[in-house]
Amino acid sequence: MIDYSLRTEHPSTTKTDAVAVAVHEGHRLSWAAQEIDKASKGALAAAVAAASFSGRCGALLPLLNVPGVAAKRVYVFGAGDEKPLSAKDARGAGRALAALANEQSIAELCVFPIADNAKMIMQQMVLGSSDACYRFDETKGTTAKRAAEKPSLKRVRFGMPAADKDSGSLLKVAAATASGIEYTKYLGNLPPNHCTPKRLGDEAKKLAKSHGLKVTVMDRKQIEKLGMGSFLSVTNGSEEPPRFIVMEYSGAKKTDAPTVFVGKGITFDTGGISLKPAGDMDHMKWDMSGAGTVFGVMKAVGEIKPKQNIVGIVAACENMPSGKATKPGDVFTSMSGQTIEVLNTDAEGRLILCDALTYAERFKPRAVIDIATLTGACVVALGGVNAGLFSTSDSLANAIIDSGKTMNDRFWRLPLEDDYQEALNSNFADMANVAGREGGAITAACFLWRFAKKFDWAHLDIAGVAYKGSGKEKGATGRPVAALVNYVMTME
Ligand code: BES
Ligand code: MN
Ligand code: ZN
């Protein structure tokens, strides 16, 4: 994790490995670039002109030994045209600057955001630079090889324009968000033979200890006692014992209603007896990304320490086929008392979440937000740009959508309507666990809705956004930790 802090010195006198200053299209210098230009007697503007620097977002121009400047290097980064920098472009600039720093093996970077919306830019640059320095090396090669791949960048300082000197609290939130995202990515990227339900339980205990949370990790016996027949039906085919995990952060009076996050923690989803095809089945190690998001949010919350009560619930198990596995047609009784006919064992996420939602009732929550890689249908509908959002409360939905826009970690609302419920009717139980192919993301949400009647509720289907399934960037994205931490902070 990079160490982030504020810096008050002048751009030209800052002693560091590299100072980063912005130049817009048309060679228009930002305030900090102007300062460097003055100190260097026009050398910066001359270099920008000589290089025909485009100034577009993402463009970079590294300069060495600029006269009159204390830093060894000056990194010029493009800030686009007259329009204010978007969150996405700011994050991209942070990512590009950190990647350049790593390429040049430097340890410290001092960034001077443009004056317009400087705080937002700082916040996004924290996330972008953290992303550029993220490595998953736990299961890679020898220690020597791992050390060689370590990023060189250790410290990022922000030199804020005069009007934004009080950015300390926002920087703390941004750094905590980055730390949460890194944790979510780490848990997601762990191989499924490492990231077992038991491991998630152990991680929760570790996180609780380091971040001052109360934690309860329940095993099969305790889960049986709670009557979670639906959750346990998913574990029937697996040799790995399940865990039901509850993490509690208290930052307010005991009587203050908490916000409860509920995560789908399927540490591997084979589909069970309704077996998935072999191609890309490795992606199903990321089927615990909802749980990973809950861990990331709880970690960030433990670092920020907001004056609120927050609960994180994770239902963790594997979905495997075996002679003991659930069969299509089996009927189980959920903790709520409602019975479920399992017509497709691959629709297992809703089976574990429904019992977790019932469990959430005991907290008398102000809102419950579940996060799950729930349906392929959601990926078809929204791709990897927006996560699906369903909610019984317009104000809750809008608050999450707004946070998503602020953090460029977006959601698109889909309908929760009774007309979709019919498709879940069963002749043999209170409901079936699947409807037809049509509106698959919606009918999955409608299933969960039957267990979310006692509180304001939002369901986030993150199947399309939680990970990239191929290419150089194959891996967990850490979404939607940034949006959810922002959502928590909007309630302060
Ligand atoms: N974990 C999957 C959903 C998923 C699909 C996540 C693709 C990420 C990428 C979920 O458990 C599942 O298998 N859903 C089924 C539901 C169907 C049987 C109604 C699906 O989407 O096909
Ligand atoms: Mn499945
Ligand atoms: Zn699944």
| In the predicted structure, residue 3 carries a pLDDT above the cut 90 | yes
Instruction: Examine the domain organization and report whether 130 and 208 are in the same domain.
Output: no
Instruction: Give per-residue pLDDT as tens, 384-427.
Output: 999 999 999 999 999 999 999 999 999 999 999 999 999 999 99
- Write down the pLDDT at residue 149: 81
Which residue, by CA, sits nearest to atom 13 of ligand 1?
A: 346
Ligand 1 pocket check for 349: Cβ under 6 Å: yes
Instruction: Examine the domain organization and report whether 140 and 205 are in the same domain.
Output: no
CATH code where residue 374 lies: 3.40.630.10
In a domain, 106, yes or no: yes
Instruction: Examine the domain organization and report whether 72 and 18 are in the same domain.
Output: yes
Instruction: Examine the domain organization and report whether 137 and 187 are in the same domain.
Output: no
In a domain, 174, yes or no: no
330, 237 Cβ separation under 8 angstroms: no
Where does a domain end: 163, 195, 216?
A: 163
The side-by-side arrangement of strands in the sheet containing 108-112 is: 3-7, 155-159, 108-112, 18-23, 73-78, 60-64
CA of 374 to the centre of ligand 1 (A): 6
Instruction: Examine the domain organization and report whether 77 and 212 are in the same domain.
Output: no
pTM over 0.75: yes
Q: What percent of the chain has pLDDT over 70?
A: 100
In a domain, 168, yes or no: no
* Angstrom distance (rounded) from CA 44 to CA 91: 24
Q: Of 7, 157, 199, 350, which is the active-site residue?
A: 350
Instruction: Examine the domain organization and report whether 99 and 196 are in the same domain.
Output: no
Element holding 19 (H helix, E strand): strand 18-23
- What tokens does 116 get? 């317009």
| In the predicted structure, residue 82 carries a pLDDT above the cut 80 | no
Instruction: Give per-residue pLDDT as tens, 305-319.
Output: 999 999 999 999 999
CA of 274 to the centre of ligand 2 (A): 9
Ligand 1 atom nearest to 319, measured from its CA: 11
| In the predicted structure, residue 264 carries a pLDDT above the cut 80 | yes
The separation between CA 52 and the C-alpha centre of its own chain, rounded to angstroms, equals: 38
Q: What's the rounded mean pLDDT across residues 9-38?
A: 97
Instruction: Examine the domain organization and report whether 70 and 215 are in the same domain.
Output: no
Ligand 1 pocket check for 439: Cβ under 6 Å: no
Q: What percent of the chain has pLDDT over 90?
A: 95
In a domain, 316, yes or no: yes
- Domain range holding 46? 3-163
Instruction: Examine the domain organization and report whether 104 and 192 are in the same domain.
Output: no
CA of 414 to the centre of ligand 1 (A): 17
Q: What separation in angstroms does the CA of 432 have from each of 2, 321, 355?
A: 48, 20, 15
In a domain, 171, yes or no: no
Instruction: Give per-residue pLDDT as tens, 92-104.
Output: 999 999 999 999 9
CATH code where residue 79 lies: 3.40.220.10
350 given a catalytic annotation: yes
* Angstrom distance (rounded) from CA 242 to CA 265: 10
Identify which has the larger pLDDT, 34 or 144: 34
75, 97 Cβ separation under 8 angstroms: yes
Where does a domain end: 109, 136, 163?
A: 163
In a domain, 172, yes or no: no
- What tokens does 253 get? 């009076």
Q: Say how many domains are in the chain.
A: 2
How many Cα neighbours within 13 Å face the side chain of 434?
19
Element holding 180 (H helix, E strand): helix 168-189
Instruction: Examine the domain organization and report whether 287 and 404 are in the same domain.
Output: yes
387, 465 Cβ separation under 8 angstroms: yes
Q: Of 72, 155, 198, 276, which is the active-site residue?
A: 276
- Write down the pLDDT at residue 163: 84
Ramachandran category for residue 95: left, alpha or beta (phi over 0 → left; psi -120 to 50 → alpha): alpha
Instruction: Examine the domain organization and report whether 150 and 219 are in the same domain.
Output: no
Most informative mutation of 275, 346, 350 for ligand 1 (most atoms within 8 A of CB) = 346
Instruction: Examine the domain organization and report whether 233 and 156 are in the same domain.
Output: no
- Write down the pLDDT at residue 18: 98
Instruction: Examine the domain organization and report whether 484 and 374 are in the same domain.
Output: yes
- Write down the pLDDT at residue 248: 98
In a domain, 169, yes or no: no
Instruction: Give per-residue pLDDT as tens, 159-181.
Output: 999 888 789 999 999 999 999 99
Instruction: Give per-residue pLDDT as tens, 113-172.
Output: 999 999 999 999 999 999 999 999 999 888 877 787 899 999 999 999 988 878 999 999
**Helix, strand, coil in percent for the chain, rounding step 5:** 40, 20, 40
- Write down the pLDDT at residue 145: 76
In a domain, 173, yes or no: no
- Write down the pLDDT at residue 146: 79
| 37: confidence class by pLDDT, cuts 50, 70, 90 | very high
228, 328 Cβ separation under 8 angstroms: no
User: Residues whose CB is under 5 A from ligand 3 (ion)?
Assistant: 266, 269, 287, 349
CA of 382 to the centre of ligand 3 (A): 18
| In the predicted structure, residue 472 carries a pLDDT above the cut 80 | yes
262, 313 Cβ separation under 8 angstroms: yes
Where does a domain end: 139, 163, 187?
A: 163
* Angstrom distance (rounded) from CA 31 to CA 33: 6
Cβ neighbourhood burial of 339 (10 Å; 0-12, 13-18, 19+):
middle
Nearest-Å Rg of the Cα atoms of the chain is 24
Q: What's the rounded mean pLDDT across residues 57-61?
A: 97
73 given a catalytic annotation: no
| 469: confidence class by pLDDT, cuts 50, 70, 90 | very high
